[in-house]
Amino acid sequence: MNKMTALLRPPLSAPGNTAPNRGLHGHRLEGSLSRAVAAEAVGTLVLVLAITAAAVAATLARPIAGVPYASLAVPAAGGLALAALVASLGPVSGAHLNPAVTLGLASSRRFPWSRVPAYTAAQFAGAIVGTAITWALYGEQARTLAGLGASYPAAGVSVGRVLGAEAVGTFLLVLVITAVATDSRVSANVTALAIGSALAAAILITGPVSGAGLNPVRAIGPMILNGRFTDWWAYLIAPVLAGILAVLVYDRWFRSEAGPLLVPEPD
């Protein structure tokens, strides 16, 4: 029976060479699944902590070495945190940190389906713990006044507009991730910066409409601890479908050569 493993298509300059167990960012994924899952949990924790803490601090107008944070602190915190995490945890897990990324890649056979449940569970766990740390750092007002930085529709925004905003923002983010992390034409030196910048831009675009979830665990994790689940299903469905579409669009129209694909090993 054939086994499935992630392989990077060999470069044209070295026919026949293969590099097994390649992750999202072209790194060779070394070590066990448990280490990769731990990296996803810790990375998602840090990402959600950075975003929710900035959002709570801005809402509570907490002064930080001068004037309080403004709303621009949220995309800055998210973008910088994601860039740092991609650079540091990419070699361990691929630094997905988002089920929309994991499912998008798996749907195009660029990530093994066998790892999807463990990755998504780790991402949800990390998001909940990251939110809990924000709650602990900022006290009860973080929940009662700032909603733990959870993503909710702006006043007067319909669920249809939430779906549209989350889909557009996640499509932008995952399209950039797919381009810079899986296409050999793109320099690895720009990967972390490009992905962090894409998240910051997506938050700026969608934040005033939907609160910029752009990641099911970033949106729903804080909702769980906050106890308020307004349109939660939209923050789950829209990013996942947009992530899958972004990978398919890039593979269909923009890619010149294949990145990591799942191909069968010989018996």
Cβ distance 71 to 210 under 8 Å? no
At 170, which CATH number?
Answer: 1.20.1080.10
DSSP category for residue 5: E
Cβ distance 6 to 22 under 8 Å? yes
- Pairing status of strand 260-264 against strand 19-20: unpaired
Residue 183: what pLDDT?
Answer: 82
The total number of structural domains in the chain stands at: 1
Per-residue pLDDT 10s for the chain (267 aa) are 333 333 223 232 333 333 345 556 545 555 578 999 999 999 999 999 999 999 999 999 877 766 778 889 999 999 999 999 999 999 899 999 999 999 999 998 889 999 999 999 999 999 999 999 999 999 999 999 999 999 999 999 999 999 999 999 999 999 999 999 888 888 888 999 999 999 999 999 999 999 999 999 999 999 999 999 999 999 999 999 999 999 999 998 988 655 445 444 343
What number of CA atoms fall less than 13 Å from residue 267's CA on the CB side?
1
Boundaries of domain holding 11: 4-264
Residue 153: what pLDDT?
Answer: 97
DSSP category for residue 202: H
Cβ distance 158 to 231 under 8 Å? no
Residue 23: what pLDDT?
Answer: 56
Residue 63: what pLDDT?
Answer: 73
Residue 104: what pLDDT?
Answer: 95
Predicted TM-score (pTM) of this structure: 0.85
User: How many other β-carbons are positioned within 10 Å of the β-carbon of residue 153?
Assistant: 18
Q: The tokens 């070590």 sit on which residue?
A: 31
